[in-house]
Structure 1
Amino acid sequence: MPVELTPSGTYGAKVPQGGPRLLVRVGMSIVSALFRLRGLRIVTLTTIGARSGERRSTDLLSVPDGPDAWIVAASFAGSARHPAWYINMAKNHGHIWLKDGSRRLQVDANNLKGEARDEAYGRLIAIYQGYAGYQQKTDREIPVVRLSAVASAVS
């Protein structure tokens, strides 16, 4: 089942909006580099913009879920809203790519639900405690997504 947009929250962390795109990219690159230095797994997710139709890439903290699958959380730092990449996946399913180290591949994305979601979110919290705080900041259930390599696109 493709990613489905879950309800937004009614409250959450205030995430800075707008600003110089270059400054945001530089800041996120620094955060990704620091996470990598700590030995955390960062993947680059590329989607097609829901409104722009252009390719959009973002680095995400992930945990492996088998040889060709990854778990990520659409936390947006505990905001009441979903991150743009999550909305893009829901609107443009079938146009999702992932880069993990030197591997680049097309992936399918699926929401995890119930116990599977809770277990996967627990795995993310185990590697980065910030996720626990993000869930406490908002009343929306933070979506947890499993990204699986499309069989014909594994490289």
Structure 2
Amino acid sequence: MADRIRRKGTRPGDKLVLVTVGKKTGLERMTPVRWFPAEGDTKLIVASASGGPRNPAWYYNLAAHPDRVRVEFAGQRVEVTPEQLHGADRDNAWRQITTQASGFARYERITDRQIPVIRLTPRTRGERET
């Protein structure tokens, strides 16, 4: 499945392969997630865990190692900087996402947590967070 996603994934709502480094293990982890367009080349992803009570493991991996995140889709490997959206930014992104994929609104109704929305911004070559 990951190989197919790496080759495709050009349309909003398609999946990309999110590559993170495990918070506890330090090992590379690959997770298919749906993406949605944002400004320019940035993409939005949702830590829904299908409406489960906890955020998915990849969410914690992003927080632990934000400088070691990349996405793979449409034959590309792109290093990105993750940023969790809050307030009006999150609300606007959430409306956009649930308009395109109404299932996410259902997930938020069945959980007690606010589902995180993450913006992935491509890093320029050589750029690293400290």
Distance change (3 Å), C-alpha of 1:62 and 1:39: closer
Match of 2:37 in 1: 64
Quickly say closer, same or farther: Cα 1:80–1:69, change in 2 above 3 A: same
Aligned length: 121
Q: 2 CA distance for matches of 1:67 and 1:124?
A: 16
Aligned structure 1 segments of 4 or more residues deviating by more than 2 angstroms:
38-41
Amino-acid identity (%): 31
1:69-148 to 2 correspondences below 5 Å: 69-148=42-121
TM-score by length of structure 2 reads 0.84
Deviation at 1:39, TM superposition (A): 7.0
Q: Could you say what the CA RMSD is over the residues aligned between the two structures, in angstroms?
A: 2.1
Give the aligned residue type for 2:69: I
1:43-62 CA-to-partner distances (Å, cap 9, x unmatched) read 11000011111100111111
Deviates more, 1:134-143 or 1:62-71: 62-71
* Aligned-partner Cα distance in 2 for 1:114–1:147: 17
Structure 1 segments unaligned to the other structure (5+ residues): 1-25
Aligned partners of 1:74, 1:137: CA distance in 2, in Å? 14
- Work out whether residues 106 and 153 of structure 1, in 8 Å CA contact, stay in contact via their aligned partners in 2: no
Q: Can you list the C-alpha shifts for 1:53-84, whole angstroms capped at 9, x where unaligned?
A: 11001111111113321001101011111101
Q: CA contact under 8 A between 2:81 and 2:121: conserved in structure 1?
A: yes
Structure with higher helix content: 1
Larger CA Rg, structure 1 vs 2: 1
